Structure 1
Amino acid sequence: MRILPPAVATAVHVATLARKAGMPIPPKVYAVLEAAANPWPAEWLLAPLPGDPIRVVELFAGPGGWSEGIAVVLGVKIDAVGVDISPDACATARAAGHRRICADITTLDPEHIALRYTGAVIISPPCPTFSPAGKLSGLDAQNIAILCEAVGYVSEAAGTMPIADIGCEDLYPDEDECPMCAEYGYHDGFRERSGITWDEVRAQAAGVTDPRIALMLEVVIWPLALQAAGAPIRWMAMEQSSNLPDDILDDLAMEFYSSDWKYADREVREAADYGLPSRRKRVYMIASRWYGTTTATARIRPLPTTSMAQALGWEPGERVNTRGTRPIDPKTGRAKGGNCFSADGPSWCLTGKSRTWKRESDGLRLTEAEAGLLVGFRRSYPWQGSRTSAFQQAADVVSPIMAAIVLSGMFGALGEALVRDYLAQLYHMDDMLSPDDYDLVS
C-alpha cells in the first residue's frame, strides 16, 4: 500500500479525530485532504468507521443504472462514486443524486491513495464492438487473441498470483530450491510484481482494431490493482454484450482465480424475462474473494412478462414503427427491413436510434421518459442533454432492475420480493405482487 505524505497523514489523523468526536473537519485540514484525494472524495482518505457503508467504484457508470438498482430497487445504502467519459451521462446521474467523475477511466490511477478502503468495483465496458448493433470487431479472432494475451499480464503486474499456482511445492518442498521461484522472485506465497505499469499493461492491447475492445482490460485491472494496493476489495460485477466471446470471459475468470479469488462466473440474462417491457440480453460476471456471497441471484427466477403497451399505458393492439415508411416486400406484404413490432409484448432492444420510434395509430413519438421507463427507470428520471443523447444513454445503460437482480446476493437482499415490488409500482401491475402461481425458491 502506498504511504501517505506526512502532511496528508497528519490531516487524516486530525480529520479522523474530528469525525469520531462528531465534529466537522476543520476547513484547512479538509483542503489538504481534498487536494490529496482529487478526483475522489476527500473523505475517502479516512478509514471507514463501524457501520459505514461499503465504498464502491463504478466504472463506465453512465447515467445511473447500477446506482438506481442498488439504492432504489434494493434500498441498500453504499458510498459510491461513478466514473464516465460522457458529460451528459454524468449530468443525468448527478441530477438523480449519484456522484460522478467525468473522466477517461484509463487516465485514472487504480491504486490511488484515496481508494485504499474500496470494497467493490462495478464495471460496464462499452459494448458496440461486441454487440450486433455495432460492427462486431470485438469478435475478430486477432482482436480476441491480442486482448486475451494482455489480460494475462494483469496478475503479474499486480503481484497477486499465489506460489501454489505454480505447483512447485510437490517437487520442491523448500521453495528456496525451486528454480522458477528463484528466477521470478516468488516470496511469502505470492509472486513479486513484475514491474510493468498499468499503462504498459494497457499498451499490450494497443494492436486491437478498435480501442474500445481494449477497455475490457479494466475488468481485471481495477479489482486486482486494488487488491495489490491492500484495499479490502470484496467483489467485482461486470455487464457486457451477450456476444462477448467465451475466450475472453474464460481468461477474465482465470485471472481472478489465479489471484486467489474464490468465485468468478458469468450468466447471460434477458431483461424481458425479469419483468422488463423491453428486450436486452446481456452477460453478467460476478467475482468474489469470499465464498457464499454470490448464489442469491440464482434464486431469482424469471418473472411475469410486461408488455410495452402495459408499461406505457397504451391500449392493446398498438404497433410501433421504428424506421419510417419502408418499401413493401411483394412476397410477404410487409415492409422491407422489419420496421414494425407489436406493443403487446416486450419492445425490441433500445438503441440510440429508438428516438425515431413512433406509435403507428397516431404517429406519436416515443419520449425520453418513456424510453427510460422501458429500461426500468422511473418516468421522472432526469435525463440530461439532447434528445439524441438521452436515447443513447437509455440504450447503453444497465437496467436498475437487472442491476438489483445481479447484485442482490452481494448485499444479502431479498432480491425477488424487492424487484417485484419495484416492478409493480413502476408499471402499475398488481400481479407482480401475487406470486401464488409462481414457484418461489426459498
Structure 2
Amino acid sequence: MRTLPPAVATAVHVATLARKAGRPIPPKVYAVLKAAADPWPAEWLLAPLPGDPIRVVELCAGPGGWSEGIATVLGAKVYAVGVDICPDACATARAAGHRRICADITTLDPEHIALRHTVAVIISPPCPPFSRAGKLSGLQDHNLQILCDAIAAAGEAAGFIPMEWHHDYDDECRCDPDSPDGKGCYGDGFAPRSGATWDEVREMAAAVTDPRIALMLEVVIWPLALQAAGAPIRWMAMEQSSTLPEEVLDELSCEFSCAEWSYTNREIMEAADYGLPSRRKRVYMIAARTYTPTATRRIRPLPATSMAHALGWQPGERVNTRGNRPVDPTTGRAKGGNSFSADGPSWCLTGKARTWKRESDGYRLTESEAGLLVGFRRSYPWRGSRSSAFQQAADVVSPVMAAIVLSGVMGVLGEALVRDYLAQLYDMDDMLTPDDYELMA
C-alpha cells in the first residue's frame, strides 16, 4: 500500500477521531482530504467503521444500471462511485442519486491512495467492437493478439506471476526457488512486479484498430492493481457482448487464477429469459478472491413479459423498426425484417429504437418507455437529447440483470427480490410464488 504523505496521514488521523466521536470533520482537515483524494470522495481516505457499507468502483458505469440493480432491486447498501466518459450518462445517474466521476477511466490511477479500502470493481466496457454494431473489429486476429498480450502484461505489472513460471523464462533472476520458506524472492509465491506502469501496460494495447477494444484491458488492471496495492478487494463483475471471444475470457480467467482468486465464472444470459420485455444477450463474468457457496447461487429463468404488456398496449400490435421497405410477395412482410410483434419481448434496443413506431397509429416510444423495456422504473430521470437518452438505454446494463448477476457475490437472496421488482414494474402478480412471499416476510 502506498504511504500517505505526512500532511494527509495527519488529516486522516484527525478526521477518523472526529468520525468515531460523532463529530463533523473540521473544514481545514476536510480540505486536505478532498485535495488528496481527488477525483474520489474525500471520505474514502478514511478506513470504514463497523457497519459502514462496502466501497465499490463502477467503471464505464453509464446511466446507472448496475447502481439501480444494487440499490433499488436488491436493496443493498454500498458506497459506490461510478466513472463514465459520457456527460449525459453521468447526468442521468446523478439525477437518480448515484455518484459519478465524468472521466476517461484510462486516465485514472487504479492504485490511487483513495482506493485503499475498495472491496469490489464492476465494469462494462463498450460492446460495439465485439458486435455487429462495431463491425466485429474486436474479433480480428490482430486485435485479439494485442489485447491478450496486454492482459498477460497486466498480471506481470501487478506482480502475480507464479515463481515457477518466473524461473522458467527469466534466466537472470537471482532468487532461490528452493529457499526454505518456499516463497522465492517476492515472499508470497509470486515473482517481483515487472516494473511497468499502468500507463505503459495500457500503451501495449494502443495498436488495436478500435480504441474501445483496449478498454477490455481495464477488466483485469483495476482488480489486480487494487490487490497489489493492498486494498481489501473481494470480487469483480463484468458485462460484455455475448460474442466476446473465448480466448479473451480465458486470458482474463487465467490472470485472476494466477493471482489466487479462488472463483471465476462466466455465463451468457438472455434478458428476456429473466422476465424483461426486451431481448439482450450478454456475457457476464464474476471473479472472487474467496469462494463462498452463495457465489454460485443461480436464479432460475423467470416468466416471460411481452412488450405490449409492459407498455400497456393492446394485443396484436406490431412495431416497425426501419420505415417502409419493399414487401416480399411470398410472405407479405417487408424485406429486411423491419417489424416484430409486440406480443412477445421486443428486439434488442439500439440507439435507433427512437425511430421505432407502432404500426397501427405511428406512435413512437418515449425515453421513459425505452428505459422501462430494459428494466428501469418509469420515473427514471433520463438526461440529454432524445437520441442520447435512447443510446443510454441501449447501452446500459439492465438493473434486473445486474441484480441477478451480483446477488451471489453480495450474499443476497436475490430471486425473491428480483421477482418482486418485476411484479411491481410490470404489474404482474403471477411473477411471485408463495416461497417468494415467505422469503420477503
Normalised TM-score (structure 2): 0.94
Task: Quote the Cα distance in structure 2 between the aligned partners of 1:18 and 1:155.
Answer: 39
Change (3 A) 1:156 1:101: same
CA deviation map 1:179-212 (0-9, x unaligned): 9xxxx95444221111001111111111111010
1:376–1:401 Cα contact (<8 Å) kept: yes
- Measure the CA separation in 2 of the matches of 1:98 and 1:434: 32
Aligned AA for 1:38?
Answer: D
Could you report, residue by residue, the CA deviation over 1:51-87 in whole angstroms, capped at 9, with x for unpaired residues? 1111000000000000000000000000000000000
Instruction: Say which SS state the counterpart of residue 207 (structure 1) adopts.
Output: coil
Of 206-215 and 106-115, the range deviating more from structure 2 = 206-215
Q: Secondary structure at the match of 1:56?
A: strand
CA separation of 1:293/1:5 partners in 2, compared to 1, >3 Å: closer, same or farther? farther
Matches within 5 A, 1:42-121: 42-121=42-121
Alpha-carbon distance in structure 1 between the residues aligned to 2:110 and 2:293: 24
**Letter aligned with residue 322 of structure 1:** T
> Is 2:331 the counterpart of 1:360?
no
Q: Aligned in 2, Cα 1:297/1:370: closer, same or farther, shift over 3 Å?
A: farther
Deviation at 1:324, TM superposition (A): 1.1
**Paired letter, 1:358:** K
Cα distance per residue 1:260-312 (max 9 Å; x no partner):
110111000000000000000000000000011553442x1100000000100
Residue pair 1:293, 1:410 contacting (<8 A) in 2 also: no
Q: Superposition pairs for residues 11-410 of structure 1, below 5 Å?
A: 11-163=11-163, 176=176, 186-292=186-292, 295-298=295-298, 300-410=299-409
Q: Which amino acid aligns with 1:127?
A: C
CA distance in 1, matches of 2:364, 2:398: 22
Letter in 2 for 1:15: A
What SS does structure 2 have at the residue aligned with 1:152? helix
RMSD across aligned C-alpha pairs, in angstroms?
A: 2.0
How far, CA to CA, are the matches of 1:199 and 1:275 in structure 2? Answer: 42
Q: Distance in 1 between matches of 2:294 and 2:356?
A: 38
Amino acid at match of 1:277: P
CA contact (8 A) 1:205 1:214 kept: yes
Deviation, structure 1 residue 175: 6.7
Q: Indicate the larger mover: 321-330 or 46-55.
A: 321-330
Contact in 2 for aligned 1:155/1:255 (Cα 8 Å): yes
CA offset digits 1:395-429 (Å, max 9, x no partner): 00000000000000112111110000000000000
Which amino acid in structure 1 is aligned with residue 416 of structure 2? A
CA distance in 2, matches of 1:372, 1:14: 45
Deviation at 1:25, TM superposition (A): 0.2
Task: Give the secondary-structure state (helix, strand or coil) at the position aligned to 1:410.
Answer: coil
Give the AA of the match of 2:264.
A
Residue 28 to residue 250, structure 1, CA distance change in 2 (3 Å): same
Give the TM-score taking structure 1 as reference length.
0.94
C-alpha change, 1:386 and 1:207, in structure 2 (3 Å) is same
- Which residue does 2:171 correspond to in 1? none
In 2, Cα distance between equivalents of 1:177 and 1:403: 44
How far is 1:333 from its partner? 2.2
Matches within 5 A, 1:393-432: 393-432=392-431
Cα distance between partner residues in 2 of 1:229 and 1:142: 32
CA contact (8 A) 1:307 1:343 kept: yes
SS in 2 for 1:155: helix
Gaps of 5+ in 2: 169-173
- Structure 2 CA distance for aligned equivalents of residues 331 and 252 of structure 1: 48
Q: Deviations over 1:140-167 (max 9, x none)?
A: 1111111101111011101123436669
- Residue identity matched to 2:397: V
- Corresponding residue pairs, total: 429
Deviations 1:354-384 (A, max 9, x none): 0001111111101100000000000000000
The DSSP-based 3-state class of the residue aligned with 1:406 is helix
